[in-house]
Structure 1
Amino acid sequence: MQTRMCFDDVAWEKSEAIQDDWVHELFKKETLIAIGKFILKYRRGKPIELCDPKAGAFNVSFRMKFEDGRSAIIRFPKPGATMFPDEKVRNEVYIMRYIQQHTTIPVPFVLHWGTKEENPLGLGPFVIMEYIDHVMDLSDVLNTPGFAVKDRPSLDLNFDVAKLELLYGQLADILLQLSTLQLPRIGSLVQVDDFTWEVAQRPLSYSANELVRLGTLPRSKLPRRNETFQSASSYFNTLADLHLEHLTHQRNDAIESADDCRRRYIARLLFSKLAREGRFTASSTNLGPFNIWCDDLRPSNVLVDEHLQIVGVVDWEFTYAAPVEFSQAPPWWLLLEQPEYWPAGMEAWIKVYESRLQTFLKVLREQENVAIDRGRLKDEQRLSRPMPTKLGER
């Protein structure tokens, strides 16, 4: 039964128009000069080149190369794509600093950051970071040969198994390290001082941003800025309410017919019923502690060197303390592509995915054994044990 709603095309066009107008302003000569000077306030050295900007789904970044062989980047959230830019930047800076202090996961070093009001360029909130040298991202490594840049990435089904295990193993180690960062509430981190963080802000998720941007959900329907959750069940209940609100508030492209609307409404009521019955969380994990979870952790945000070693993980903006069950779910990105976009259809995606899932679980267990031997992980903290070996299991 199809219950996932298409996004509002009118809202999508408006979002893209705002982005295009803003990006156009970036290419003005006076703007580029001002950006270069601004970087130099916080990164010492002799600059040799300000590279052309690179645009992602939510950000635009500029790389400045220096004579010492290193580089710095400045990154701005794109208006029209990012609904809560100040909050997004603040969350990302705090979580990167937290991960840097508590794990060996390579994340960018933050040189300086600020809110919209603190940016003299008038380009919104910003973060200036050391650039991580790399050869390519992991999506490029795993992608099917011959695919163009404009094509959606898809795992090369003939990819060497030994290399796949090498890469999956490194990703498994990252997931394991994140799962050991346990926090007492569900929400986003706030840095109190150099060594102290608190869960003091709402969990700003990728889904929340998209519901407002493309689902025309009023911002007032989201949790309050300082609202956190003390139990997984309360968070799942909130998500269930948001699904219902989305169906009520999306202006265009929400339904196809009265029967379609009825199906979607019933599905959301059933989800809400299951959430209120506590079906999505166990009593042993309902009250935490909760794991660090990144909505946007995927191969395209993982940087590797010429030896296929991970040298950086970027784009942490939608990261927060979440229910343990999020970490225990099989990673959706094992095939790079989501099932709804798989060319041969859902059943074909499941067949290929489950074979790759066995590869991932194998290396995950190996990484767990290493971490346990080194005292970094307890046996009861294994992710492989609760993680389903086939889709649909729980």
Structure 2
Amino acid sequence: MLIPCWDSAGQIHHLEGFPTSFKDWSRGEELSAQRREFLSAVEKVTPSSISSTRDLAVDMNLTLEVTLDDGQVLVVRQCYPSQNDDVEELWRTSKFESEVNLMQWLEQNSRIPVPSIHSVMRRGTDSPAHFIIMSKLPGQVLMNSHSLLSSLAKVFALSHLTVRNTVLELFRLDVPQRIGTTIPSNPGDGLDVRPKIGKQYSLSADRVFDTLEEYMRHLFSLKRKSKSIGDGDTDKARAYSTLTTLEDLVNVHLKSLTSPSLRRCVLMHDDLHDANILVDIHGNITGVLDWEFHSIQPAVLAVGYPAWLSYDDTNDPRFASSSVWWVVGRQESIELRRQYAMIVKVKDLEYYEALVAGLFLRSVVNWLIDEHADPGCLRLRGWMISEEALGESLTQPDQIVPAK
């Protein structure tokens, strides 16, 4: 399916959207020994045999849509085992267990449309890998559907995302007031906190953080160790200088965030992009997927504009990696962001205040966790220079200044 995408010059192209399937299989067709072993393990916990599969995702996890002989359609998500790396295996297992627990907790404690988990299997005698079997939710991924929605439906999708389904409910759920990734509480049916699981095991935290200041110091430390800043002495020296300047600015900014409502810890989906949201033709949000990366963070970091509307920081066309594309044009993104800000301002003033107050800090975090190559932090430095010129407009969501 071709969808409109914009390049850094603002030119529109029609590119392949998120695949509806990477590979289809039906009974009678050839299977690898590894896939045959895995499907046999799945069939041990399904009510009937598997007649066909579709590979929905194949990168960090294997996600299959399976059709059974009795007509049921389910989703199976396999956690790939690590290849002889105990540290990576612990990371993979930890995010699998955390995702399972959080999805079950959200189904019991919220109205957020997460898939219902039918079965959980761990690697062992009966299974070659950890996997879960879930219900299949209706709808299409927003990445493929957004351009097909009417202007009214796009605004309705923002309203539905905030008010009825995800964002504002996450903002108000009762969660522990420490910074990290969730684990089951013991005893009880609540949540506890473990060190934050990163999108790569090398980016995970080694402890739980009590304050926003501690967490920001951790992120700066990770960036200084990141391969993205370059390997040479010159690149590292330039990067360290830029990061020190930015950290000094952040420390000053943190002193202005005095309201307890801005520092209250909030549950957030760390990967809430347009391929992890399902919508119908009217803009109703029908599913929120892929909770393996989530965290509890201060409100100023946990809130934000929808990721697919971003032309900021690492998505600013002047400084973005060459691999970045945009699924919404700049002018439309400005209008939809304005609508989003208006919606949350009416529905939850504290959310809106965190949205405004945290705009600069969230941009900094996006740069610190970005793993695209940036030797010497030259892209980051260019953004810092441009942001200084914007002045007070950094914190005004209704006055978004487009890039020149």
- TM-score w.r.t. the length of structure 2 is 0.67
d(CA) in 2 for partners of 1:223, 1:244: 14
Correspondence 1:138 to 2:130 = no
Q: Deviations over 1:284-310 (max 9, x none)?
A: 349953001111112211112354422
d(CA) in 2 for partners of 1:364, 1:69: 41
Whether contact under 8 Å (1:47, 1:64) holds in the other structure is no
Whether contact under 8 Å (1:108, 1:314) holds in the other structure is yes
Whether contact under 8 Å (1:233, 1:278) holds in the other structure is no
Correspondence 1:179 to 2:171 = yes
Work out which of the residue numbers 173, 178, 183 in structure 2 matches 1:190.
183
Deviation at residue 63 of structure 1 after TM alignment: 2.2
1:329 equivalent in structure 2: 304
Query: Aligned partner of 2:168: which letter?
Result: L
Structure 2 vs 1, CA of residues 79 and 43 (structure 1 numbering), >3 Å: closer, same or farther?
Answer: closer
Whether contact under 8 Å (1:293, 1:326) holds in the other structure is no
Query: Aligned partner of 2:217: which letter?
Result: N
Whether contact under 8 Å (2:197, 2:205) holds in the other structure is no
Q: Deviations over 1:105-159 (max 9, x none)?
A: 110112232444x47443x432222222x2411111114x7xxxxxxxxxxxxx6
Work out which of the residue numbers 285, 308, 333 in structure 2 matches 1:353.
333
2:56 equivalent in structure 1: 54
* Aligned counterparts, 1:36-55, within 5 A: 36-44=39-47, 46-47=48-49, 49-55=51-57
Identity of aligned residues (%): 18
d(CA) in 1 for partners of 2:256, 2:219: 13
Whether contact under 8 Å (2:158, 2:340) holds in the other structure is yes
Deviation at residue 186 of structure 1 after TM alignment: 1.0
Question: What SS is found at the alignment partner of 2:355?
Answer: coil
Question: What SS is found at the alignment partner of 1:172?
Answer: helix
1:160 equivalent in structure 2: 150
Work out which of the residue numbers 86, 90, 95 in structure 1 matches 2:93.
86
Query: Aligned partner of 1:387: which letter?
Result: L
Correspondence 1:201 to 2:194 = yes
d(CA) in 1 for partners of 2:277, 2:333: 20
Structure 2 vs 1, CA of residues 193 and 286 (structure 1 numbering), >3 Å: closer, same or farther?
Answer: same
Deviation at residue 364 of structure 1 after TM alignment: 3.1
RMSD of aligned residue pairs (Cα, Å):
3.6
Deviation at residue 269 of structure 1 after TM alignment: 1.3
Deviation at residue 99 of structure 1 after TM alignment: 1.6
Work out which of the residue numbers 311, 335, 352 in structure 2 matches 1:384.
352
Question: What SS is found at the alignment partner of 2:241?
Answer: helix
d(CA) in 2 for partners of 1:333, 1:281: 29
2:295 equivalent in structure 1: 320
2:27 equivalent in structure 1: none
* Aligned counterparts, 1:1-394, within 5 A: 28-44=31-47, 46-47=48-49, 49-78=51-80, 83=88, 84-116=91-123, 118=124, 120-122=126-128, 124-132=129-137, 134-143=138-147, 160-173=150-163, 174-181=166-173, 182-192=175-185, 196-206=189-199, 209=200, 219=202, 222-224=204-206, 227-246=207-226, 250=227, 254=230, 258=234, 260-277=235-252, 279=254, 282-285=257-260, 288-334=263-309, 338-339=315-316, 340=320, 352-365=332-345, 368=347, 381=350, 383-388=351-356, 392-393=394-395
Question: What SS is found at the alignment partner of 2:354?
Answer: coil
Deviation at residue 283 of structure 1 after TM alignment: 3.0
d(CA) in 1 for partners of 2:246, 2:354: 22
Whether contact under 8 Å (1:364, 1:384) holds in the other structure is yes
Whether contact under 8 Å (2:276, 2:289) holds in the other structure is yes
Whether contact under 8 Å (1:185, 1:288) holds in the other structure is no
Structure 2 vs 1, CA of residues 97 and 343 (structure 1 numbering), >3 Å: closer, same or farther?
Answer: closer
d(CA) in 2 for partners of 1:65, 1:391: 52
Whether contact under 8 Å (2:176, 2:193) holds in the other structure is no
d(CA) in 2 for partners of 1:280, 1:326: 15
d(CA) in 2 for partners of 1:106, 1:63: 18
Deviation at residue 385 of structure 1 after TM alignment: 3.2
Deviates more, 1:51-60 or 1:309-318: 51-60
Q: Deviations over 1:289-341 (max 9, x none)?
A: 30011111122111123544222111011101012111333333226994326
Question: What SS is found at the alignment partner of 2:120?
Answer: strand
Query: Aligned partner of 1:203: which letter?
Result: K
- The size of the alignment, in residue pairs, is 319
